[in-house]
A and B are shown apart, each in its own frame.
Chain A
Amino acid sequence: ETGVTQTPRHLVMGMTNKKSLKCEQHLGHNAMYWYKQSAKKPLELMFVYNFKEQTENNSVPSRFSPECPNSSHLFLHLHTLQPEDSALYLCASSQDRGTVGDNEKLFFGSGTQLSVL
């Protein structure tokens, strides 16, 4: 148990559906992240929030919409996705961002395996 909880674990959705992924961290961290993991590709950073403020949007299509109501919760709202968006979506947290050292260590949730039909 890493202290980062993601729901749901699996999600199947049609291209016209709207769904949301949820992440909660119990570590008292200040930074939260969304990563996408596709087969045979490196982990891709999507969004970063530091103290609830979005500090990074890594050229992610607008059909992915993040929300961070507080430092412990992070959502990823999905709408009109494409089949190529099928992947494992990982939430992570770290103590801080922008500092070199132990505070950069990432703690990952179990991920949501998303299939878009």
Chain B
Amino acid sequence: QKEVEQNSGPLSVPEGAIASLNCTYSDRGSQSFFWYRQYSGKSPELIMFIYSNGDKEDGRFTAQLNKASQYVSLLIRDSQPSDSATYLCAVNWASGDKIIFGKGTRLHILP
């Protein structure tokens, strides 16, 4: 069963704090991992991608990948109200050559 699991939230984080979003996946052969942000009523937008174990930083965003434990996370530093959105984790399903999405985590940044 192909699964990408995320806590649906909402996750409430004070403005200026670090928001931590987690995702686990069931296909050990997966190689590519993506984070998409989706504002209410809008389409998903790619914000981070990671292929290798470890951390990848881009501005206020850091993606962390641990293939042995089959989880990928997204950290948002200095959270802003504009970061309030649903964050979708997506995984390349190696066995089926398709990208599978989780249900998403709703993030709410408290002013």
Name A residues whose Cβ lies closer than 8 Å to a Cβ of B: 2, 40-43, 45, 48, 56, 58, 90, 97-98, 100-102, 104-111
Task: Please indicate the chain B residues that have their CB under 8 angstroms from the CB of A109 in the complex.
Answer: 43
Q: Residue B51 contacts which of A48, A98, A101, A110 (CB distance < 8 angstroms)?
A: A101
Task: Please indicate the chain A residues that have their CB under 8 angstroms from the CB of B26 in the complex.
Answer: none
Q: Residue A101 contacts which of B32, B88, B97, B100 (CB distance < 8 angstroms)?
A: B32
Give the B interface residue count (CB, 8 A). Answer: 24
CB distance from A37 to the nearest CB of B (A): 9
Bound-complex Cα distance A43 to B32 (A): 17
Task: Please indicate the chain B residues that have their CB under 8 angstroms from the CB of A41 in the complex.
Answer: 103
Q: Indicate if the CB atoms of A106 and B46 lie closer than 8 Å.
A: yes
Q: Indicate if the CB atoms of B101 and A43 lie closer than 8 Å.
A: yes
Q: Offer 22 A-B interface pairs, CB within 8 angstroms, sorted by A.
A: A41-B103, A42-B4, A42-B88, A42-B101, A42-B104, A43-B44, A45-B98, A45-B99, A45-B100, A48-B98, A56-B98, A90-B43, A90-B44, A100-B92, A101-B32, A102-B49, A105-B34, A106-B34, A106-B44, A106-B46, A106-B90, A108-B43
Task: Please indicate the chain A residues that have their CB under 8 angstroms from the CB of B92 in the complex.
Answer: 100, 104
Q: Any chain A CB within 8 A of the CB of B42?
A: yes
Name B residues whose Cβ lies closer than 8 Å to a Cβ of A: 4, 8, 31-32, 34, 36, 42-46, 49, 51, 88, 90, 92, 97-104
CB distance from A97 to the nearest CB of B (A): 7
Bound-complex Cα distance A2 to B100 (A): 21
Pairs of residues from A and B, 3 with the lowest C-beta to C-beta distance, nearest first: A43-B101, A108-B43, A42-B101
Given contacts A97-B97, A100-B92, contact A105 B102 (CB under 8 A): no
Task: Please indicate the chain A residues that have their CB under 8 angstroms from the CB of B8 in the complex.
Answer: 40
Task: Please indicate the chain A residues that have their CB under 8 angstroms from the CB of B44 in the complex.
Answer: 43, 90, 106, 108
